[in-house]
Amino acid sequence: MELLLDPSVWVGLLTLVVLEIVLGIDNLIFIAILADKLPPQQRDRARVIGLSLALIMRLALLSVISWLFKLTAPLFSLGPLTFSGRDLILIMGGFFLVFKATMEMHERVEGKSHAVSGSRMYAGFWVIVTQIVVLDAVFSLDAVITAVGMVDDLEVMMAAVIIAIGIMLVASKPLTRFVNAHPTVVILCLGFLLMIGFALVAEGFGFKVPKGYLYAAIGFSVIIEALNQVARRNLLSADDHRPMRERTAEGILRMLGKRPLSEQAPTEGAAQPPDELPFGVEERNMVSGVLRLADRTVHSIMTPRTDITWINIEDDPETIREEVTRTPHGFFPVCRGSLDDIVGIGRAKDIIADLLQSKTLNQRALRPPIIVHETVRILDLIDTLKSARGQLVMVINEFGAVEGLVTPIDVFEAIAGDFPDEDETPDIIHSGENRWVVDGATDLHHFEQSLEIEGLMDESDDYSTVAGYLLRQFGRLPDVGDHLSLQQTHGHFRFEVLQLEGRRIAKVLVERHRDETLDAMPADAA
């Protein structure tokens, strides 16, 4: 009855149960491997019988070792130190725990695992049960020594062993999953074994370590680990609320050697040298382009209406021939008077052949146009392009007006960057140190990658070009010379409107200032 009223006994019992369970994980793994050699209908029965017999054997072993610990009569002396049978058992048991914990910790830190080989043929039932009992005897030695080192009362030791075996018997599979999912718990318990082993060795040499100190240290560590598990669970819960694609992108960027923006700390000299990264900037941009492709709109990758080169079937043959010859495209929309009145899609060499042979454009040779709506998903658009056999796809709005066209090269540019045709100039032109002249129609995703700018757009924005971003920031059509500034991790960026074409921003000067402090909020022309 006195034991039940002692708080230290309850603390010791609880701690010992936890340690016994952790020390029995390897035992459970080997038992599962052995039971797997039996027919499925006999496995649970073999596991129950084997662990039950092992419990009886463990209690007997515990009684024997506890009795040996009472052998306090001196056996021999070594200088000022006198050793009894109990002292020798304490020293050997302590060294065994230190060795066992050290080896287990080394294997787990190094990433090694136990491997057992054997025949996959079904074995005899009692043969497997016998093997389970023998294996438990081997694995029980450290658990029994730990029990003797943790508490002084045999009743508490036996109660802890019975409770631990009962829990292992009922929850062997969930317990194994929990320990495998929380490796820090295993390392913490192995640290407890090191501490207990050291205390046993010290006591064997005559230096008594009060068990209250061990309980206090273990209890404090358990509380810290519990808080760590709660914090980790809350972090994972918060991370689950983020889009799956965003989490996947960040994971791949970490693999490629680039930390996400949320984890970057702007410290001087902390940047990783480019030659130490496993992948180059272009390769990382391509991976990012693939991951973000499905989130982009067709407006962000298509050739806009204003840049489409089309053939007017009402023009004379010479005008049509000059248009086809001047423009290095393989396919042309053929229309009647207006781009919105599409007759068909003509191939350049077929158009030239018709004009040379019959001096007129053969409408029956034109291919029917492939038309998609501007709200089409990029992945569905890719499927359409696959079936188009290299032909361009026209994009229309809800009123039937043509918004733009898409070719396979447009999708490729969305992933790998800009590939200008012969009649085009690059969207981003480097004009000096930290200076760029940017076309207003430049895709904003490509612009962010090229200049290492982030956060200019998100899924809710209805613009996809640099000009669209500037119009959103200014709130009006700016004048030439109007500017705004933006603060980023890699420096401060200044945007200045260089050229307007009608009601469109045609050219923008972008400057990066690393050592100057600019206003982070948009500003109109001074």
For residue range 341-351, what is the model confidence (pLDDT) as tens digits? 999 999 999 99
74 & 175 share domain = yes
Establish if 279 belongs to a structural domain.
no
- pLDDT at position 254 is 65
317 & 452 share domain = no
- pLDDT at position 112 is 55
Question: Model confidence over 117-128: pLDDT tens digits?
Answer: 444 445 677 777
Residue 30 has pLDDT above 70, yes or no: no
- Mean pLDDT of the 381-397 span: 89
- Mean pLDDT of the 62-67 span: 68
| Residue 508 confidence class, pLDDT cut points 50, 70, 90 | very high
Q: Which two tokens stand for residue 262?
A: 């949320």
- pLDDT at position 39 is 76
404 & 438 share domain = no
Q: Give phi and psi for 216, each to the nearest 5.
A: -65, -45
- pLDDT at position 83 is 83
In this predicted structure, which of 128-132, 318-322, 378-382 has the lowest mean pLDDT? Answer: 128-132
Higher pLDDT, 309 or 241: 309
Residue 403 has pLDDT above 70, yes or no: yes
- Residue that the structure tokens 């501007």 belong to: 374
Q: Which of 210, 237, 264 is the last residue of a domain?
A: 237
- pLDDT at position 260 is 57
In this predicted structure, which of 62-71, 103-112, 259-268, 328-337 has the lowest mean pLDDT? Answer: 259-268
116 & 229 share domain = yes
197 & 152 share domain = yes
Residue 28 has pLDDT above 70, yes or no: no
Our CA dihedral for 448, 451, 454, 460, rounded to 10 degrees, sits at -20
Establish if 373 belongs to a structural domain.
yes
329 & 469 share domain = no
Query: Angle at Cα 456 formed by Cα 447 and Cα 508, nearest 5°?
Result: 50
Instruction: Compute the mean pLDDT over every residue in the chain, rounded to the nearest whole number.
Output: 75
SS (H, E, C) 195-241: HHHHHHHHHHCCCCCCHHHHHHHHHHHHHHHHHHHHHHHHHHHHHHC
Q: Which of 214, 227, 145, 152 is nearest to 184 (CA)?
A: 227
- Mean pLDDT of the 461-487 span: 85
Establish if 99 belongs to a structural domain.
yes
8 Å CB contact between 493 and 499: no
Number of Cβ within 10 Å of residue 282's Cβ equals: 10
Which residues, 6+ apart, have CB-to-CB distance to 193 below 8 Å?
19, 23, 97, 98, 100, 101, 142, 146
Q: Which two tokens stand for residue 179?
A: 């320990």
DSSP H or E stretch at residue 453: none
- Residue that the structure tokens 């084997």 belong to: 50
Higher pLDDT, 210 or 271: 210
Q: What is the CATH number of the domain that holds 458?
A: 3.30.465.10
340 & 486 share domain = no
8 Å CB contact between 303 and 405: yes
Establish if 274 belongs to a structural domain.
no
- pLDDT at position 336 is 93
- pLDDT at position 271 is 47
466 & 391 share domain = no
Query: Angle at Cα 467 formed by Cα 311 and Cα 259, nearest 5°?
Result: 115
Which residues, 6+ apart, have CB-to-CB distance to 513 below 8 Å?
434, 491, 492, 493, 494
8 Å CB contact between 36 and 42: no
**Distance in angstroms (rounded) separating the CA atoms of residues 472 and 482:** 14
Residue 176 has pLDDT above 80, yes or no: no
- pLDDT at position 110 is 74
Question: Model confidence over 33-53: pLDDT tens digits?
Answer: 556 567 777 767 777 777 777
Alpha carbons within 13 angstroms on the beta-carbon side of residue 329 total: 28
| Residue 468 confidence class, pLDDT cut points 50, 70, 90 | confident
In this predicted structure, which of 87-91, 145-149, 308-312, 467-471 has the lowest mean pLDDT? Answer: 145-149
Question: Model confidence over 241-288: pLDDT tens digits?
Answer: 666 666 666 666 665 555 555 555 544 444 444 444 455 666 667 777
H helices present in 4-84, as ranges? 7-23, 25-35, 40-68
Q: Which domain holds residue 441?
A: 428-513
**Distance in angstroms (rounded) separating the CA atoms of residues 51 and 45:** 10
How many structural domains are present in the chain? 3
Question: Model confidence over 326-336: pLDDT tens digits?
Answer: 888 889 999 99
Residue 309 has pLDDT above 70, yes or no: yes
Establish if 154 belongs to a structural domain.
yes
8 Å CB contact between 252 and 291: yes
pTM of the prediction? 0.45
Establish if 522 belongs to a structural domain.
no
Higher pLDDT, 25 or 184: 184
Higher pLDDT, 523 or 359: 359
In this predicted structure, which of 153-167, 216-230, 348-362 has the lowest mean pLDDT? Answer: 153-167
Q: What is the CATH number of the domain that holds 306?
A: 3.10.580.10
- pLDDT at position 402 is 93
Q: Give phi and psi for 482, each to the nearest 5.
A: -65, 145
432 & 409 share domain = no
Q: Which of 219, 237, 255 is the last residue of a domain?
A: 237
57 & 128 share domain = yes
Higher pLDDT, 77 or 117: 77
Q: Which of 416, 446, 466 is the last residue of a domain?
A: 416
50 & 146 share domain = yes
Q: Which of 24, 9, 4 is nearest to 164 (CA)?
A: 24
- pLDDT at position 162 is 82
126 & 208 share domain = yes
Greatest CA separation for the chain = 122
- pLDDT at position 394 is 94
Q: Give phi and psi for 39, each to the nearest 5.
A: -60, 150
Establish if 257 belongs to a structural domain.
no
Establish if 525 belongs to a structural domain.
no
User: Across 12-16, 22-26, 335-339, which has the greatest mean pLDDT?
Assistant: 335-339
